Structure 1
Amino acid sequence: MARRALGPATLAVVQAVDAALTPADARLLVACSGGADSLALAAAARHVAERRGLPCAAVVVDHRLQDGSDAVAARAAHAVRGLGLPDVAVVAVTVGTRGGPEAAARDARHAALRSAAAGAPPATVLLGHTRDDQAESVLLGLARGSGPRSLAGMAVRTGGLLRPLLDLPRTTTEQACAELGLVPWSDPHNVDSRFARVRVRRQVLPVLEEALGPGVGAALARTARLARDDADLLDALAAEADPGTDTLDCAGLAVLPAALRSRVLRRWLAGRGAEDVGAEHVQGVDALVTAWHGQRGVDLRGGTVARREGRLLWQAVGRG
């Protein structure tokens, strides 16, 4: 029996998935919530995997943050199986509190996905983030004032995680579901204004579109791509400049460009065990290098940085 031709939106999602894969992607694992983005992604991944001869499975993460979340997860798994992916697992997780509800849920989800992807060879986990999600990430990073790395938004590929739909708008995944006869689940959290991302999506971006004209989301996503290229280069240079020791030479740091020096310092602090390093911490440590006048050290979570005989010294806080 001849296959039904793919609709234009479904074809766009299929092409995006196909273009994002490399020969190293030997197995695929689709993260599916039952929403439009992940359902369209699952359909496209099945199509691409079948054509390439790749194993393809899916996992639905139940965060257990809402009443009836187990039933929602079961419906999502049923919908994915209906797309022709019989290997679908539902994994329940416990969400902590560190970093706030959104970050904690993301950490729990990613841990579950990486565990599900383990094996030989490990599976590449496909995530359904779209261009709209990227634009929201850029605005949130801008609001935090956390620098180019935050403005770079989400990477297409991070370790074993792959986001093939970052160049497609959410309307494309929604239209793909309509073409495929799928009825996506609408997460109540996606309209809950307690979450910053929801406020950006429902209040900030519409105002920007109205004031500046259409295309703001696409422009923000393009900014993320450009910022990521710059940030990746600076991070690579910082890795080369970091000696990996518990002390740093202040004279050598002082001659580095500020953008590079701040990254060396942030990397060095993280490598010593400093936690939750913010811009103000890096600025304080940088002042020990560039504006030294005998000031005391800089306290961070996990330790203190002081200047001794022309070198920065990391002193860990005793644990016990």
Structure 2
Amino acid sequence: MSDRRRLPETRAVLAARHAVREWVGRYAAGRAVAVGLSGGADSLALTAAAVVEAEGVDALVVDHGLQGGSAEVAEAAAAAALALGCRSARVLRVEVGRAGGPEAAARRARYEALDRARDGLPVLLGHTLDDQAETVLLGLSRGSGGRSIRGMAEFDEPWGRPLLGVRRAVTRQLCADAGLTPWEDPHNLAPEFTRVRLRTEVLPLLEKVLHGGVAPALARTAAQLREDGDVLDALAESLLTASRNERGLEIETLATAPAAIRRRVIRAWLHEGGAKSLTDSNLRAVDALVTRWRGQGGVALGGSPSGTRLVAAREHGTLILGWDRVDTDGGRHHQ
């Protein structure tokens, strides 16, 4: 293990350290942590602060292999982590698939690699207030309700995000103050990525038109919605327990619940039953089986490679789930 590098007591350094100290005190007091380190300014600043504030830090560097020289970048990030005082630094090389597009595939590969390598430790990620604002805007574009604009959580085990209240400019200033040279990922300026255009075009325009303060306002909105959502989720969990029977969910118990809670119950139950990619129209169609039933049939919720599809239906006062097999001639067989 390397000695901890002494950091200057500048405003940027103290802001990052304070944020990490609060997070560690709340979620990982007396524990070591892992840090997902890309070598960029955000994760480098996070690593520097975590080394000072946490019991011990293991750096995990994911090499996606998507750019020439990525192996050298990863090794340089690992070396920087050790120089900062991390007790270990590992490079994780991954294969990125194609499902869902390049951004989603890289993200999935990265999280899976970090989860395998964390050895039971929480993993700190360098998401900042600016990342939170971008996430809220992306959620707004989906139009799928409060859940999609609650943004990222401070701690969604095992993922920790201590810097959600820290601006991206602060992490860059910390690196400058501490003499750290962050890696500049060319993907962060590639206009073919939606998040990049939000960062470089949409948010600056909103800041100009609305005279500043947009990113902090979006982050505050996310925090408020997350607090409200946590209460609604707890109420929904109680209702889910109360409405269960041996076949599914009792419609009489669900029907009188407020819509915001009832739909949370239905969503959670459908996820349990195997529905993976629910849309708002899916959810509202299943909800209509409870509150606006006029004899309509079941609601198809997606298929599987085996030729079956998950269907929610109403039967004898109970909301049930089943798999229908769809033959090549269009025939259906309930399983």
Coarse TM-score class (shorter-chain normalised): over 0.9
Alignment correspondent of 2:13 = 10
CA distance in 1, matches of 2:62, 2:113: 7
Instruction: Provide, for residues 125-158 of structure 1, a one-character-per-residue CA deviation record: whole Å limited to 9, x for no partner.
Output: 1111000000000000000012111111000001
How many pairs align?
312
Matched, 1:44 2:49: yes
CA distance in 2, matches of 1:163, 1:205: 21
Identify unmatched segments of 5+ residues in structure 1: none
Seen in structure 2, the aligned counterparts of structure 1 residues 91 and 169 have a Cα distance that, compared at 3 Å, is same
Q: How far off is 1:291 after superposition?
A: 1.2
Seen in structure 2, the aligned counterparts of structure 1 residues 67 and 317 have a Cα distance that, compared at 3 Å, is farther
Alignment correspondent of 1:303 = 310
Aligned residue for 1:314, secondary structure, equals strand
Aligned residue for 2:319, secondary structure, equals strand
Seen in structure 2, the aligned counterparts of structure 1 residues 3 and 188 have a Cα distance that, compared at 3 Å, is closer
Q: How far off is 1:16 after superposition?
A: 0.7
CA distance in 1, matches of 2:101, 2:7: 45
Alignment correspondent of 2:331 = none
Alignment correspondent of 1:164 = 162
CA distance in 2, matches of 1:232, 1:196: 29
CA distance in 2, matches of 1:106, 1:288: 36
Identify unmatched segments of 5+ residues in structure 2: 303-308, 327-334
Alignment correspondent of 1:70 = 71
Matched, 1:220 2:218: yes
Alignment correspondent of 1:106 = 107
Instruction: Provide, for residues 242-285 of structure 1, a one-character-per-residue CA deviation record: whole Å limited to 9, x for no partner.
Output: 13554212222111101111111101101111120111100110
Instruction: Provide, for residues 205-255 of structure 1, a one-character-per-residue CA deviation record: whole Å limited to 9, x for no partner.
Output: 011001001110000000000000111111111111113554212222111
Q: How far off is 1:4 after superposition?
A: 6.2
CA distance in 2, matches of 1:304, 1:241: 22
Alignment correspondent of 1:208 = 206
CA distance in 2, matches of 1:217, 1:108: 28
> In the alignment, which of 180, 191, 195 is matched to residue 189 of structure 2?
191
Instruction: Provide, for residues 151-170 of structure 1, a one-character-per-residue CA deviation record: whole Å limited to 9, x for no partner.
Output: 11000001121100000100
Alignment correspondent of 2:131 = 133
CA distance in 1, matches of 2:85, 2:276: 44
Alignment correspondent of 1:96 = 97
The percent identity for this pair of structures is 49
> In the alignment, which of 138, 146, 151 is matched to residue 153 of structure 1?
151
Instruction: Provide, for residues 9-28 of structure 1, a one-character-per-residue CA deviation record: whole Å limited to 9, x for no partner.
Output: 01111111011113762111
Seen in structure 2, the aligned counterparts of structure 1 residues 256 and 225 have a Cα distance that, compared at 3 Å, is same
Q: How far off is 1:3 after superposition?
A: 5.5
TM-score by length of 2: 0.89
CA distance in 2, matches of 1:23, 1:140: 29
CA distance in 2, matches of 1:197, 1:4: 32
TM-score by length of 1: 0.93
CA distance in 2, matches of 1:285, 1:160: 32
CA contact (8 A) 2:56 2:87 kept: no
> In the alignment, which of 301, 315, 319 is matched to residue 312 of structure 1?
319
CA distance in 2, matches of 1:145, 1:203: 21
Question: Relative to structure 2, which stretch is displaced further, 238-247 or 58-67?
Answer: 238-247
Seen in structure 2, the aligned counterparts of structure 1 residues 36 and 251 have a Cα distance that, compared at 3 Å, is same
Q: Which amino acid in the other structure matches residue 264 of structure 2?
A: R
Alignment correspondent of 2:252 = 251
Greater RCO between the two (CA within 8 Å, min separation 6)? 1
Seen in structure 2, the aligned counterparts of structure 1 residues 317 and 93 have a Cα distance that, compared at 3 Å, is farther
Seen in structure 2, the aligned counterparts of structure 1 residues 127 and 27 have a Cα distance that, compared at 3 Å, is same
Instruction: Find runs of 4+ consecutive structure 1 residues off by over 6 angstroms.
Output: none
Matched, 1:279 2:277: no
Alignment correspondent of 1:267 = 268
Q: How far off is 1:86 after superposition?
A: 4.8
